[in-house]
Amino acid sequence: MTDSGHVILIHGTWGRGDHWTQARAEFEKRGFTVHTPTLRHHELPLDEGAGLIATVSLRDYTDDLVALARSLDSPPLLVGLSMGGLLAQLVAARTPHRGVVAACPAPAAGIFGQYPSMVRLFARHFLRPRPWARPLYPTWQAWSWGIANTQPPELARELFQDLVCESGRAYCEMAFPWLDRHRSAKVDYNKITGPVLVIGAERDRVVVPAISRATAKRYPTATYVEIPRSDHLVLFGDTLTVTMGHIDRWRETHGI
């Protein structure tokens, strides 16, 4: 097995680093040293971590990930899903990297994200008093309808059982970037020097494919692929094989 260098897999909303079991194995097969960090406070059980996670900013997540990337002995490949796809771009703008794979990335500042299915999933949280100070709890309705909507029921349920809370502050920074004086969700695209692959999913309801397409258009040389009949979980289950095929072809093209 050849040494392909480092890859950092960045999880998304409600996730943890140890959820990457399948994807980790696939990148290890390809010779990568795989890092699967858990975002700040996400290692805690759901109720125990809720209050701590509630007010964490995208900037906090990004700072932690930049520190990890800079600690490695060579620039990593950055791979992120959902909010992790946005974080991968924010990290890439601040540190050397070999490339970025943004899978179903949450919308950066300047990319429209108020699509009906997305409003349906999160409006209840944003209508609560001070949503930026409250944890965003996972619900089976949101998970099964908006995120794992094409997964086998047993896999969807297995993944759901292990979810944790997400930051209400981070979600406000993504949903209402014009209200955030720190511009936490703003990506400096000009500082991302490595090749970029953006992956969308045809049946994604939580990050509709229009957002993935709009993200790819921010980069003059980005590659965009869309997984037919897939929900949001393009790096899980049976879809993982298809997604890794696209990543392999993109890596070959760019010598990664």
pLDDT of residue 144: 97
What band does 4 get if pLDDT is binned at 50, 70 and 90? confident
> Could you tell me what percent of the chain has a pLDDT over 70?
99
Cβ pair 191, 93 in contact under 8 A: yes
Q: What is the pLDDT of residues 184-221, one digit of tens each?
A: 999 999 999 999 999 999 999 999 999 999 999 999 99
- Give residue for tokens 């995120």: 147
> Are residues 11 and 84 in contact, defined by beta-carbon separation less than 8 angstroms?
yes
Chain mean pLDDT for the chain: 97
Alpha-carbon separation of residue 147 from 84, 142, 143, 233 (angstroms):
14, 7, 5, 7
> In a 3-state reduction of DSSP, which class is residue 115?
coil
Q: How confident is the model at residue 3 (pLDDT cuts 50, 70, 90)?
A: confident
What's the distance, CA 92 to chain centroid?
Answer: 13
> Average of pLDDT values for 1-20?
92
Q: Residue 218 — φ and ψ, nearest 5°? A: -70, -15
Q: What is the pLDDT of residue 2?
A: 66
The reported pTM is 0.97
- Strands 135-136 vs 77-81: parallel, antiparallel or unpaired: unpaired
Percent of the chain at pLDDT above 90? 98
Reduced 3-state DSSP string for 135-195: EECCCHHHHHHHHCCCCCHHHHHHHHCCCCCEEHHHHHHHHCHHHCCCCCCCCCHHHCCCC
For 157, the domain range is 5-254
Each residue's pLDDT tens digit, 134-176: 999 999 999 999 999 999 999 999 999 999 999 999 999 999 9
Q: Coil, strand, or helix at residue 117?
A: helix
**CATH code assigned at 40:** 3.40.50.1820
User: Are 6 and 35 within 8 A, CB to CB?
Assistant: yes
Give yes or no for residue 12 having a pLDDT over 80. Answer: yes
First-to-last C-alpha distance (Å) of the chain: 15
* Residue 15 near residue 41 (C-beta atoms within 8 A): no
Phi, psi of 198, deg, nearest 5: -110, 130
Please tell me the total count of domains within the chain: 1
Is 175:122 a contact under the CB 8 Å cutoff?
Answer: yes
Q: Is 192 exposed, middle or buried (0-12, 13-18, 19+ CB in 10 A)?
A: buried
